[in-house]
Structure 1
Amino acid sequence: MANLSLFVPVLLLAMFIKEGESVRCWTCSSDLNPLCNDPFLAGRTDNNYLFRLENCDANTGATYPYLTSSKSACKKQRKYINGQQIVSRGCTWKRQDDYSTSCPSSSNGPNEVTSFCETCEYDGCNGAATIGKTIALLAAPLALLLFK
């Protein structure tokens, strides 16, 4: 019983430790690949070769000049270009102290309107909605109550 009461807090702590590796994000656009649209099913066996997880820190020097004050993040954006809805997924950059899920400001073209844009900071998070961490957070207190 004592081992279990030590295991659950250690498990919860391990879930929230940030790794030193870069973020890997799904990279695609629905105007080039219709399967990038919602619902996004990258993990299905019949289409998993169509998508890739991009290492967002692989080309940092070429794309973002303020490396000391920035961090990489994944982005999912829904926009309308000339009336056509396009969903794009990929990497973006945020200030190191920015913990929001809103996208950094970007300039839209004259015929481009962004209707949704969200960022996240763990591998593959800009794909389908994940509930793994939510379930773990809900299950931990329940497990504590059951094994009391």
Structure 2
Amino acid sequence: MKTMEKCVLAAVLLCCVLQTAYAIKCWDCRSDNDPKCGDPFDNSTLAITDCHQAPELEHLKGVRPTMCRKIRQKVHGEWRYFRSCAYMGEPGIEGDERFCLMRTGSYNIFMEYCTCNSKDGCNGAALQKSSLLSVCLGTLSVGLVTLILRQ
């Protein structure tokens, strides 16, 4: 294989890996529709959403979701939870995802916004483990690129 072909193949594989890295996956649910969405969070029946595939919002043209968000809301004494892809904001408070933004309002309303982008599914309640498939595919890709470039 010629050097130019090797470089092109390596660039294509690198672009595929980078595309995957920039697309975050988040849990997407509402506790008023699915009680498993609340705390404690039970994702056993939920599919994780690829935020790269999320639709563009009409009021935020050209803005893509790059984070996950969990909203905990108390309205008239009832707790509601919303988990979704986040289009705007910053992770945590001053970049620290351990802290959430809290707001209170009149008429006994309380809201807590938690935003993160450290890993897929970070808007769940517990730590998420890496998928064995994603680890194997990543290792295989790196090995393939190394093998091709050595030839």
**TM-score bucket of the superposed structures, by smaller chain:** 0.5 to 0.7
Identity, % of aligned positions: 27
1:27-85 Cα deviation digits (max 9, x unpaired) = 11111111111111214xxxx2xx12122233135452353xx6521011111123211
Question: CA separation in 2, counterparts of 1:112 and 1:87?
Answer: 14
> For 1:85-104, what aligned pairs fall within 5 Å after superposition?
85-94=79-88, 99-101=95-97
Match of 2:76 among 82, 85, 110: 82
Unaligned runs of 5+ in 1: 1-16, 134-148
1:119 aligned to which of 106, 115, 118: 115
Over residues 97-119 of structure 1, what are the superposed CA-to-partner deviations in whole Å (9 max), with x where a residue is unaligned?
A: 9745467899x7966420x2211
Tell me the equivalent position of 1:72.
66
**TM-score, normalization: structure 1?**
0.54
Return structure 1 stretches of 4+ with deviation > 2 angstroms: 17-21, 60-67, 94-106, 108-113
Equivalences, count: 108
> Which is worse superposed, 27-36 or 51-60?
51-60
Closer/same/farther in 2, CA of residues 88 and 74 from structure 1, 3 Å limit: same
Within-5 A mapping of 1:1-148? 19-43=20-44, 48=45, 51-57=46-52, 58-60=54-56, 62=58, 64-65=60-61, 67=63, 72-94=66-88, 99-101=95-97, 112-114=109-111, 116-121=112-117, 122-130=119-127
